[in-house]
Structure 1
Amino acid sequence: MNTSTPLTTIAAVAAASALLLSGCASSEGDEAAQHSQHEKQSEAASGEDHGESHEHASDGGQPPKGIEKASDPTYAVGDEVTLTADHMPGMKGAKATISGAFETTTYSVSYTPTDDGDPVKDHKWVVHEELKNPGKAPLKDGAKVTLNADHMPGMKGAKATIDGSTDETVYMVDVDTGDMAITNHKWVTEDEVQPVK
């Protein structure tokens, strides 16, 4: 009985192993490249164009429970204004009508949608009353929160990070961006609104 392994068998096993290992290395390299490409796409989607990738509802609905109406806002309900905000395509420079004015802390947030959508960076805006068990306002930059806001698909229930905050008067507006008519759009702040000229 021959107990030695032929050299051709050893060479074949070694060659197969080398091919398998090189295949794994190639696959891992491809995955890293794909992940890098996905991150670039996510960053692009969460920049200027995040309004396109995460459409706002055509009716923003009622203000959240517990939010206080502004006692003496610069712009009253029914006032016509021009928006300087650029939250979505067609918004900057659009004419709008104030549909609500409120006193609260308003936050910009970064979050990953619950519907597996691309991460959204610096979303403007959510108000303190749209956070789950937020504690006392204002929250510090970097605070971790859960969103109760439902402005866009995948937003409600998402984990978010506070990027910044303001205590300016915040407004709901009815606006026609050219692509879409939105009732009770949430939110624009005092410095994102100016009188119609």
Structure 2
Amino acid sequence: MELIGMLDSPYVRRAAISLRLLGIPFEHRSMSVFRHFDEFQRINPLVKAPTLVLDDGCMLTESGLIIDWAQTKSDRPALMPTDAAHRQRALRLTGIALAASEKSVQLVYEDKRTPDKRDEGWIARVQGQLHAAYDLLERELHGVNGWLFGASPTQADVSIAVAWGFTQLVVADVIDAKAYPHLAAFSQRAEQHPDFAALPPV
């Protein structure tokens, strides 16, 4: 089984860490949808990262769907809380973290445009959405000294830490880590977990 994509993508890294947490063995093939487009296309015509190629040749895309599939194959505890109230909160926090990842990606792509093609109004709007996402998460992490829902990481923990790491990698000039001390501390702790440390974003 192969997981294809670059770990500097929050979606690829989120899927990879989740597979490890669930005890699903896989090989990681680092491949860029830009630099290796033709090679990637021969594997998956959609050229979509992450792509998980199963042992039977079936291909799964989209990190959430890959994680959902992996959960059905794992005998380890689920990455989402079973308590209804905790599950709802975990879903909400995961959604905010994914929004932060999405907005960070949008800023990266916008920065690739030549200056005369950039839409400053759009950039300001996306930056505002990114700040809003991290403002919400910073408040949620106030007083959190471990994982969000117990002794082990859930999908909310993974998604938040991965999103934060990605944002700091690509748009640290937009999101100042000093303004988000709870997020920074939480993510630093998460990155020390073996399944995070084994899959660094660079």
TM superposition score category, shorter chain reference: under 0.3
TM-score, normalised to structure 2's length? 0.22
> Could you say which structure has the higher helix fraction?
2
> Could you say which structure has the higher strand fraction?
1
TM-score, normalised to structure 1's length? 0.23
Please identify the structure whose Cα radius of gyration is greater. Answer: 1
